[in-house]
Structure 1
């Protein structure tokens, strides 16, 4: 009888804890459903319509026409190519640089390590507008720091309009995105490297392993979950690059810095083609999902 009473009491306690947990989650769940799930469903639904969201204009069902038109839209294809270039360049560079810096500083004493983490993480917590203003001044074609240093060192003969020249504008965006993306990975890698079991490293040293072998066989293997998270988050952030484009170039010059996110904004909120813009959003979500799945598969195999 006593065992049954304890079992019943445990079930009641578990049910109460579950109920309380859901009550605590309810505000966030309402927000998530209202501002994420429902908009996602509406996005997919309206992507099959010629939708302008106008009161006097009725949405017209056009099936897959928006998706078909996307891949004959030269501006969209250009924006897609720019987006993939940003992802292909920034994701591995951010991951490799962050790992290199973290491996160099994670064994430093507390104060010095904190200083480095603050330096690298500062651009992350600084407002995007403030960061953009600073970089706009750096790349100014008349009095910018980039042109001044280039001419002072003899690299440049004359001023370059960095953000107004098709040859340089997108690479400037990638550089700025890099500086604002390395802070979080460095903090995560420092924490991950600090949690690697030292007994494995000491055993490898006794067996005569080189520093490279210790890093590759022990440290790298132990921080693989962190690497996977960094790759996925950096990939998503790179695909969703928008604020820098909006504040610095507005997609110019000649669509050379257009990204899919910016073109979605321009199409939906400037041209009022919500159905067409939502079709781009669905395509972008599919690309992000596929690439993230490939990263998960590759990391699990590793």
Structure 2
């Protein structure tokens, strides 16, 4: 089992010293990865399910913040949970991700993408909310094509993106493509993960039967697409006070990575929680 930890700027704050201290302590404790969420813009009345998001929540740009973290750490992998893929142009995004991966010497390896749940955010980005799934599928294809392409250039003709003989360098660090995990708690997200993802990262409060069904959907979609169902990583959120028995139960369900988060916004308490988790699971 691999263990990641998230840093939520809306609740922990955006002080750069605190972000660096959190990331460094997570690295010292032995956590595999650090995740950041994304919202590009909020507005009064924005709802995610039954919850209203206060419009003043300070969501930083996750990739800019991860670049900052990469410069202050040495080993910890960099992740998003989730990056709102339909709201990014894939040609620009492919360049940004490859740049971070090169400068961090291969640590931009846990990109997790989602569709976004706020219609007002989609409108602000000029994206038709109803088509964001197809747009995300195309964006994944575009980025992988650009990363793998050589000096002869690559071409693409899709519903949303098109180009001819395009070359993009630098390439990701030592690989032909960066892993792309798919987040979301819907059956469509599970199928997307199987068809195009390197991993599936569902969230939300799903019934165990629905979780199992979605994992089966992801694996069957992978097999139908001629991809390895067993190679699909399965990441789940967890509690920082979870027990060894709870993690063993997740492993029995096929989970390969658990991502936790500190419950406190107070730095000393955060460090205590991380250290206790690391000791409980012998991370370092």
Q: TM-score, normalised by structure 1?
A: 0.24
More strand by share: 2
Radius of gyration: which is bigger?
1
Q: TM-score, normalised by structure 2?
A: 0.25
